[in-house]
Amino acid sequence: TDPVRLKDYRPTPYAIRTIDLDVRLDPENTTVTARSRIEPREGTAPGTPLVLDGDELILTSVAIDGRALGTADYEATDKRLEIFAPPAGAFTLEVGTRIAPAKNTKLMGLYRTASNYCTQCEAEGFRRITYFYDRPDVLAVYTTRIEARKAEAPYLLSNGNLIERGDIAGTDRHFAVWHDPFPKPAYLFALVGGDFARISDTFRTMSGRDVTLEIYVEHGREDRGAYAMDSLKRSMKWDEEAFGREYDLDIFMIVAVSDFNMGAMENKGLNVFNDKYVLAKPDTATDQDYANIEGVIAHEYFHNWTGNRITCRDWFQLCLKEGLTVFRDQEFSSDQRSRPVKRISDVRLLKSHQFPEDAGPLAHPVRPETYHEINNFYTATVYEKGSEVVRMLKTLLGAETFRAGMDLYFARHDGDAATIEDFVACFAEASGRDLSQFMLWYKQSGTPELRVAQGYDASAKRYTLTIEQSCPPTPGQPTKLPMTIPVRFGLVGPNGADLAFEAVSGAEVAGDVIVVTEPKHEVVFEGVSAPPVPSLLRGFSAPVRLALELSAEASLFLLASDNDPFNRWQAAQTLATTALIEATRAVRAGAVPSIDPKLVDAFARVAVDDKVDPAFRALTLALPAEADIAREIGSDVDPDAIFAGRDALKKAIATGGRTAFRHLYESLASAEAYSPDAASAGRRALRNSALDYLAHAGETDSVMERYRTADNMTDRLAALGLVVGLGLPEAEAALIDFYSRFDGDGLVIDKWFTVQATAPLAATLDRVRALTEHPAFSLTNPNRFRSLVTAFATGNQTQFNRPDGAGYAFVADHVLTLDEINPQVAARLLSAFRSWRALEPRRRAYAEAELKRVLDKPGLSRDVADIANRSLG
């Protein structure tokens, strides 16, 4: 089939101004009546057919202005409804459809979760509820009447404000009517019906309006909603302070459901969440869970302005709302927690998820120009790199001008379905800068590389940085144009302070940012009193790879002295990466890796440096992940050798730093009650990192002790992960204990599945296969499925990439099985193959064969076919 192309964008011939929905809920036979007020747009020729989207709908009636249409007046298929000759002026279209939520396993449109009803409409789910213009540039005012049996669905919720509710006399049924005054695209529609526990609160906005806040959770989980509510209130306050954005309806609702394809959804006034991003209490949720909840609650709330009030003209503009909103939630979490720690975590995520995507067959621009299946473009590139692009705008323009550009964007485009060009134009105007080269960040895929060389002329006190940029070829883009790359920098002098310089030439340098625009710059600094160590890309000021030959001494110096915390962390990563690549090479050559004692010493020193924030120390002690090393190696990758090399480095650090880690582990013991705040979480992270190293030094007794005495999930799960991952004799007993403690608690059982699926052990595949038969496993619940099968494919480098290909075959089997149930989750799983071309020949051949086997299956969903095609392409 033909792809959808950005260049083919055309507005619809008709506008839909209002839609009144009447939905009568029933598991097998829900009826939907949609009455829309429609008018031709300017320039539409009279008699132009009206063609609406549909998907798996049963049409029961069509009428225009109260008159039923005859079969000669329209054509209805599974996918579309065409009215051949609509009236010349405005008219009312009434469409009746029938759907079966209980049969909807794709979890798009209206479906069942537990014994409740909920919807997911982004990107193209509304067409599974009624025939409509299911695209983001058609904005309508929605009024939604929901009717259901009272006992089955005591709560009936939709977007906007509740305007009426009541019983239906003489029946066991009731109804509610919701009205959303803000015109919105269909993807932001939501409806929920069911039985929940409700947590309520209020928020007073900056103009003094009181907003009702409600979080709906499964009965019995009321005690797990407090942190989400607190996060919501902090998000609302922050958006007022940081961006001047006030909430606009009288009520804001969040519903937590247990069956959900992704994280959460920003439906206007009625966010629907995967319950994993709502529910938390200390003995069931980890510190990471708490941080994720805070971030996702904020993200969905911030969409109210960046996504809802200003939406996207078409799905190619997805990063307009997603990249920007990720940027906003990252800024929020930075302000709530530690900015450097948040930055490091975000960059780790970017490098481990987005860089490999950009380096493989699924690479695409932040704003793609063509797609077969839009759901496959909710990617790390659109989200995470999209956020980096916004951050670079801020770096280039400065905080004040950036804010002026945002203000202009909100003022000018409120109520619009906008484009990236509209967005960038606001910053060009606010700054007076020409941003046309900057636009390439949205258009060119691939991770640019900066090659840097340096020179110092002592007699002239002149320091030179030669900076060259390039960008590798990516699918559909064999050659690239030079981009605007902001390089935040410092010239670190012998005493650790940044050296001053008197003049600089060869590139625009604004404050501490070199603005790279040409293929090559010779940046010359005059009046530099001593030879500096360059600290480049501070704060990771651009999503690029940096190739700069620095001696180990220079990196160790930066690790100890750089005043930019990000680059201190980066220095440790650079040192470790170099050592890991060498160790991997040694293993492949059949040799024993030799580890530089200076590196071991540096890690041990970081561990016990009490002047440094514990969370930061924990991040510094975390070695680059196996997938990161694979990406650095780039080709002919052998995951077993990487694992062995990494294990050797880890054990060397563990053994050499044993006393330091023991001291750390003991000194960080805390008698205080658990609190999820960032400082306490940082201490736990550091202590668990010490435990990890101790275990790798053979001190495994501490691990079981930790497991048994833990009073919170962070510590308990860290210990369980070590017991199982190291294959300790106590593993089985610990797993049985953990299961029996949390039997019936799906979100915790997910952790139990994941710990087993990610253990780097030869027996893991058999165990995972056996666990797919476990009563707690489910093919229809995305969280359960992902916690086992997707976790194995994406979180277990050695076992997914088994040299006999059995890991690939297992995953491909599950892609095919799941594709018949839930294509979106199946397609996500298949993208675990995205780096297959970088593998050594034998594994590469196995992976390719499995991708082909998937592609060859008849009746594949568009979602899976698209990923298989592009992966092989």
3-state SS class at 547: strand
Contacts of 582 (CB under 8 A, 6+ apart): 593, 645
Give the one residue of 113, 375, 484, 871 binding ligand B3K; rule: CB under 6 A.
Answer: 375
Is 692 one of the binding residues for ligand B3K (CB under 6 A)?
no
Task: Answer with the entry of Zn ion, ligand B3K, none that 329 interacts with (C-beta below 5 to 8 A by kind).
Answer: none
Q: Please report how close the Cβ of residue 350 comes to Zn ion at its closest, in angstroms.
A: 16
Q: Would you call 500 exposed, middle or buried from its count of C-beta atoms within 10 A (0-12, 13-18, 19+)?
A: exposed
Least CB distance to ligand B3K at residue 349 (A)? 15
Residue 266 binding ligand B3K, by CB under 6 A: yes
Comparing CB distances to ligand B3K, the nearer of 377 and 777 is 377
Measure CA 405 to chain center: 25
If the CB atoms of residues 136 and 225 are measured against ligand B3K, the closer one turns out to be 136
Partner touching 123 among Zn ion, ligand B3K, none, CB below 5 to 8 Å by kind: ligand B3K
Nearer to Zn ion, 325 or 794 (CB): 325
626 binds ligand B3K (CB under 6 A): no
- Exactly one of 76, 140, 177, 265 binds ligand B3K (CB under 6 A); that residue is 265
Name residues whose C-beta falls within 8 Å of residue 250's C-beta, 6 or more positions apart in sequence: 161, 209, 211, 212
Strands of the sheet with 210-217, listed across from one edge: 197-204, 210-217, 251-257, 270-274, 264-265
Of 54-62, 295-303, 425-433, 785-793: span binding ligand B3K (CB under 6 A) = 295-303
Return d(Cα 50, Cα 508) in angstroms, integer. Answer: 54
Over the window 269 to 308, marking each residue x when it contacts Zn ion by CB under 5 A and - when it does not, the resulting string is: ----------------------------------------
In angstroms, the CA 824 to CA 548 distance is 41
Q: How far is the CB of 853 from ligand B3K (least distance, A)?
A: 26
If the CB atoms of residues 680 and 822 are measured against ligand B3K, the closer one turns out to be 822
Cis peptide before 123 (omega within 30 of 0): yes
Dig out the tokens for 562 from the structure.
């750089």
Of 140 and 264, nearer to ligand B3K (C-beta) is: 264
Among 15, 123, 825, 830, binds ligand B3K (CB under 6 A): 123
Q: Is 300 an interacting residue with respect to ligand B3K (CB under 6 A)?
A: yes
In whole angstroms, give the CA distance from residue 234 to residue 264.
18
Name the amino acid, one letter, at 648: A
| Stretch 401-430 residues interacting with Zn ion (CB under 5 A) | none
Contacts of 217 (CB under 8 A, 6+ apart): 196, 197, 199, 224, 225, 256, 275, 278, 279
Binding of ligand B3K at residue 162 (CB under 6 A)? no
Residues forming a β-bridge with 147: 24, 175
Q: Which stretch binds ligand B3K (CB under 6 A): 201-209, 297-305, 540-548, 769-777?
A: 297-305
Cα separation, 602 vs 581, in Å, equals 18
355, 381 Cβ separation under 8 angstroms: no
- Contact segment (CB under 5 A) with Zn ion among 61-69, 166-174, 320-328, 465-473 equals 320-328
Give the residue numbers marked as catalytic: 300
Give the nearer residue to ligand B3K in terms of CB position, either 307 or 614: 307
Q: Residues 299, 413, 650, 828: which binds ligand B3K (CB under 6 A)?
A: 299
Cβ–Cβ < 8 Å for 779, 258: no
Strand, helix or coil at 807? helix
When asked if residue 525 is in the footprint of ligand B3K (CB under 6 A), the reply is: no
CA dist., res. 127 & res. 129, Å (int): 5
> Could you tell which of ligand B3K, Zn ion, none binds residue 197, using a CB distance below 5 to 8 A set by kind?
none
Phi first, then psi, for residue 139 (nearest 5°) are -105, 125
Q: Using the minimum distance from each CB to ligand B3K, give the nearer residue, 289 or 640.
A: 289
Q: Is 122 in the site for ligand B3K (CB under 6 A)?
A: yes
Shortest reach from residue 527's CB to ligand B3K, in Å: 49
Side chain identity, residue 477: Q
Q: Out of 142, 182, 238, 378, name the contact with ligand B3K by CB under 6 A.
A: 378
26 binds ligand B3K (CB under 6 A): no
Q: DSSP state, 275?
A: G
Q: How far is the CB of 829 from ligand B3K (least distance, A)?
A: 15
DSSP state of 522: E
Neighbours of 128 (CB within 10 A): 24
Q: Could you tell me which residues are beta bridge partners of residue 514?
A: 487, 509
Annotate 397-436 with three-state secondary structure: HCHHHHHHHHHHHHHHHCCCEECHHHHHHHHHHHHCCCCC
CB-nearer residue toward Zn ion: 277 or 525 = 277
The separation between CA 115 and the C-alpha centre of its own chain, rounded to angstroms, equals 28
Site string for ligand B3K, 815-854 (x = CB under 6 A): ----------------------------------------
Enter the DSSP assignment of 452.
E
Query: Which pair of tokens denotes residue 496?
Result: 């650790």
Considering the complex, state which of residue 187 and residue 409 has its C-beta at the smaller distance from ligand B3K: 187
The least distance separating Zn ion from the CB of residue 325, rounded to whole angstroms, comes to 5
Q: Contact with ligand B3K (CB under 6 A): which of 322, 329, 373, 640?
A: 322
Nearest distance from C-beta of residue 296 to ligand B3K, angstroms: 8
Per CB under 6 A, which of residues 225..264 are in contact with ligand B3K?
262, 264
Contact positions toward Zn ion, by CB under 5 A?
Answer: 322, 325
Contact positions toward ligand B3K, by CB under 6 A?
Answer: 122-123, 262, 264-266, 299-300, 303, 322, 375, 378
